[in-house]
Structure 1
Amino acid sequence: MTVTNGVQAEEARLAVLRGHRIMDTEAEPEFDDIALLAAEICGTPIAMVSLVDDERQWFKARVGVPYDEGCRDSAFCAHALEQQDVLEVPDAVSDPRFATNPLVLGEPFIRFYAGAPLRVEGGVSLGTVCVVDHQPRTLTPSQRRALRALARHAAAEIELRSYARRTADVNRRVVELEDLKNRILTTVSHELRTPLSSIRGYLELLLDDADPLDQETGRDFLAVIQRNAHRLTSLVDDMLLATKVGSEGIEVVRVPIDLADLVAAVVAGSRPLAEHKGLEVSFEKPGPVIVAGSHRELTQALQHVVLNAIKFTTDGAITVQVTGEPRPTVIVTDTGTGIDEGEIPRLFDPFYRSETAEAAAIQGPGLGLTLVRAIVNAHGGQVDLRSRLGAGTTVVLQFPPSAEVLV
């Protein structure tokens, strides 16, 4: 085997070891029994179920040693990993591979060692079941067979735990997906039904020949229908964009854009809703803050953040800031209801609606922050949300300087 192939094989072995998540776990009686049986069958004062990573050997179970790990460089078990069968060292002092080993010259003064590779599915060796003595000796054929059997049993225990963990992960994921499905059906059906019911109601009034409407009232009704149609279009656009978040991801074509101009336009478009609720939206436009971005997607993200601030604020104000130093940043702060800190990690999950939103019957399918993060990430930026229940919320959008992107 070449050096390159050997390094690649070891990296693959370490990946399998990490995948089993067995290192540094609590002691378990099944493994303790394996170490105890190995010591009793082989008649040695020391026995271990040893796992070897890139820097150390760690003992899942041990008999006769007071410590639970050691350095890989001096580990006999590191040599046993490469063996197809039991590695047996009858007298370490006379073996040139181990004669100067610190474990031979000092505690625990190893003279005899035997280790059976602990191989999981695919033949990958994670460690050994090994026995150690302070006197030179050899194993009998029956003891070697027993050591192999115990190593197979230890490997089976590790794989059984991995299988149980994967099964639990799958079951948990199934529950999460079922919960997501229910949230989607409940939220989307409500979000679709509300504007559709309004559109249908106003259309029925417009088409009622028995009680015709005057022209001005008809225009007002058509304006309501138009607003609800726009709401439906926005919902469908958000849902279509959300499907890309979990599949191929959002792709954006970036060009130089003045972030300050973009924010100013979003704030201006949001002011009528804020004024309707008696809220003030303060924004002092700075000089140009250039980012590399997509006008459409960035506008969509900014609208979600500003409209969220308005929707969740009943009294007070919303403050919007844009700065270019040290990097292009948008900060939206409100004096609204705030969010429980325990809910913050879930706010970016698709279709998740906070308890505050549910309690206040605030409209929205729970896609806003999901899309905000996806859009900002697609621009190489990051989103930070800080909030306390009853103390308002601050959302920070940061973007890389355009010079780092447009090269």
Structure 2
Amino acid sequence: MRVLLPPDEEGRLAALHEAQVLDTPPEGDFDDIALLASEICGTPVGMVSLVDAERQWIKAKVGVDYEETSRDESFCAHTIQDHDVLEVPDAGADPRFADSMFVAGDHKFRFYAGAPVVLDGAHAVGTICVLDRMPRELTASQRRALRCLARHTAVQLELRRYARHAGNVADRMRQLDRMRDSFLAGVSHELRTPLTSIRGYLEILLADGFDPETSQRFLAVMQRNSDRLLRLIDDLLTVARLNEGGMELHLAELDLAELAHQVTTACRPLAEHRDVALHNLMDHPVLARGDGRRLGQALNHLVVNAIKFTSPGGEIIVRGTAGDEPELVIVDTGVGIPAAELPHVFDRFFRSTAADRMAAPGPGLGLSIVNLIIEAHHGSVHLDSEPGVGTTVRLTLPRA
């Protein structure tokens, strides 16, 4: 029996296809979501599914090996009729699903729960769902977790769509920088609200103390992903504001050695995860005048960039010198930058060939932001690099 279509079917399909995610290769962010849903709900199967016109396509999955199924046979086709969790405690006793191939056939699923993935605040394009071969019910915390994961998935899809639009605008309107910056600032504002909500839900879920430990571990992964998206939004706003001279700096005397300690301490877990040695050699005060928050943002970009492009077993060194022109130096043994690309590394939205080859995340704003922040301090940035050897970045700042 054919599943009824939602009243917004035309707009729903338009939003889904605009996301350009159907039939794309696996991605770690979505794989984490499927695994986390399965772990939290204690089910053998977890999925990130998208409901197309005639099929359900699975973007990420745990516990099953099929890629898609008929929409008419899909549990998720029912979930997208509403904007809340659909829970089927015993599919064998539910007339909507008792004859489904997934219940009566070889899979023998009995339990289903799914939370809709809603784009534009209106169109349910898919679900985060879990299945089990035994009848059961979710706890209130598990239902809340599914909703949170569905919201996080929607943000992932919307961020890709907005980034693509930003790239298109940049390509068509290179001469209209102010228009592009205004567009990016608007996009950032629209993304910050749902991301802030997601962080709130993640904090609740972490505070609940889920068992087993794997659930906590993957919840922490989701929180790091949320932090990464928030940093991207801050980057977009920073570029727009600095370009228009609207970034207010709170200047004061500060110790660059203490700043380096804070940044390297925060970045060390990422370095350890990638098996990269991160050394802070600043063991004496290096006084300068600047905005600690903005300089920390710039240094964080440089250290994270170095980690991303340094292979396992490599190392990164942060050192500094005092004097008439206090200096911070970041040296890595990473992949390096070809000479032909060096003149463009501070251009907004520029991504190196290494970034594309390594599928490194980010829209190409990091070094642009570093340059804008240091120039706003009346300092300078110098970058030297050699492919296969590494990169050295020198930040020079006014003396305190």
Query: Under a length normalisation based on structure 2, what TM-score does the superposition of the two structures give?
Result: 0.48
- Please identify the structure whose Cα radius of gyration is greater: 1
Query: Under a length normalisation based on structure 1, what TM-score does the superposition of the two structures give?
Result: 0.47
